Amino acid sequence: MPEKILESFSVKRLDILDERGEADTSLMPSLTDDQIRRIYEVMVLARTFDQRALNLQREGRIGTYASILGQEASQIGSAFALEKTDWVFPSFRENGVYITLGHPPHMILQYWSGDERGLRTTDDKNIFPVCIPVASHLPHAVGAAMAAKYRGDRIAVAAYFGDGGTSKGDFHEALNFAGVFRLPVIFICQNNQWAISVPRERQTASRTIAQKAIAYGFPGIQVDGNDIFAVYRATKEALDRAKGGEGPTLIECFTYRVSDHTTADDASRYRKKEEVDEWKTKDPLLRLRLYMEKKGLWTAEYQKEVELKAKADVDEAEKKAESIAPPNPRDMFTYTYAALTQKLQREIKDF
């Protein structure tokens, strides 16, 4: 008997805004001029924050820090599509997501300076705390989506991770659950090409990360992760699908980690400067700015204003972060269980 083809697949890639700021109007998501300006302003704020955090780390004023340089479109474009009622599960390189969703920048600095209180979001925000063990938060996103579905809440869950995370068992277990239970969850992979020193080719022999979704029975798409419009559009569509009961989506944002892995890393040990320089030309802020200029939404004066505002906000965040009273050592005990245990009642007396 002849062999039959049971499945074949194709993987889509979405590009809308190119490096010269030209947008494919047929694919443009519906965003007002005000929204585009707002996105640009958040991108500038996120980059200003990121640069400041790196400086503060060098001066020993905060601890190890993970820079988002180059990944602003992936983070801000996706987060901008979220609604307040949606749940978000970040990994550890999502400062742009936190900023877009309105978590105060001074608290982000507070966290990176080693204070858990910086991750205490307000009760009206459904952002989970930073997750450091790679991809281990993806099952949490799946569980939240199961809970939302069980309760009949019309929300979606977004989980952020990197290319390295796709090698982990939890990534596969989570995608499998999401497919089997047709959950309202979107998996946002920022494929930034490097998991510390290991290149993407060493994480998987697949041509794309997007195609991994197909094995779990739901769509995956690759988008230009430095193209804010492509990221926004893909996320918005995935959210609509999730809320419409059509199940999960995997979005691969094809981007680049321009900085070191963290401030404890030196990327020059394992990758070439030419590669980094090449990616700098694909800068997500620059191309949005060129687009806005063509549309009459950007002037040199506007740029100056936006930069000044961002600097003032970050100055304020820095000042606020550094004026916060140090954490109380008793907090170690009071947040371990809901109530102090017999042993903790004794131990807390040390403070």
Q: Which residues of 55-87 are buried (b: 16+ CB within 10 A; e: fewer)?
A: ebbeeeebeebbbbbbbbbbbbbbbbbbeeebb
Write out the DSSP string of 156-177.
-EEEEEETGGGGSHHHHHHHHH
H-helix or E-strand spanning residue 36: helix 33-58
Number of residues that bind other proteins (CB under 8 A): 45
| Binds other proteins (CB under 8 A): choice among 40, 80, 98, 177 | 177
CB of 342 to other proteins, least distance (A): 5
Written as six digits, the tokens of 237 are 């569509």
Among 140-148, 198-206, 298-306, 315-323, the segment contacting other proteins (CB under 8 A): 140-148
What residue has token string 């609509």? 240
The three-point CA angle 335-87-47 to 5° equals 90
From 257, 287, 289, 291, active-site residue? 257
Contacts 24+ apart (CB under 8 A), 302-311: 306/40, 306/41, 306/44, 307/44, 307/48, 309/41, 309/45, 310/41, 310/44, 310/45, 310/47, 310/48, 310/49, 311/48
| Residue 261: active-site member | yes
Written as six digits, the tokens of 119 are 């991750």
CB of 67 to other proteins, least distance (A): 22
| 59 vs 288: CA distance, rounded Å | 32
| Binds other proteins (CB under 8 A): choice among 4, 273, 343, 349 | 343
Q: Which is nearer to other proteins, 45 or 134 (CB)?
A: 134
Q: Which is nearer to other proteins, 256 or 333 (CB)?
A: 333
Based on the shown chain and the rule CB under 8 A, indicate whether residue 129 belongs to the binding site for other proteins: yes
| Residue 346: active-site member | no
Based on the shown chain and the rule CB under 8 A, indicate whether residue 331 belongs to the binding site for other proteins: yes
Residue span 225-264 as binding mask against other proteins, x where in contact by CB under 8 A, dash where not: ----------------------------------------
| 107 vs 116: CA distance, rounded Å | 9
From 261, 287, 289, 291, active-site residue? 261
Residues 180-209 interacting with other proteins (rule: CB under 8 A) = 180
| Residue 270: active-site member | yes
Residue span 76-115 as binding mask against other proteins, x where in contact by CB under 8 A, dash where not: -----------x-x--------------------------
What residue has token string 């947008």? 23
Written as six digits, the tokens of 189 are 């992979």
Among 73-81, 190-198, 301-309, 337-345, the segment contacting other proteins (CB under 8 A): 337-345
Based on the shown chain and the rule CB under 8 A, indicate whether residue 13 belongs to the binding site for other proteins: no
| 157 vs 126: CA distance, rounded Å | 10
Residues lying near other proteins in the complex (CB under 8 A) are found at 87, 89, 116-117, 119-121, 123, 128-131, 133, 136-148, 150-151, 169-170, 173-174, 176-177, 180, 331-332, 335-338, 341-344
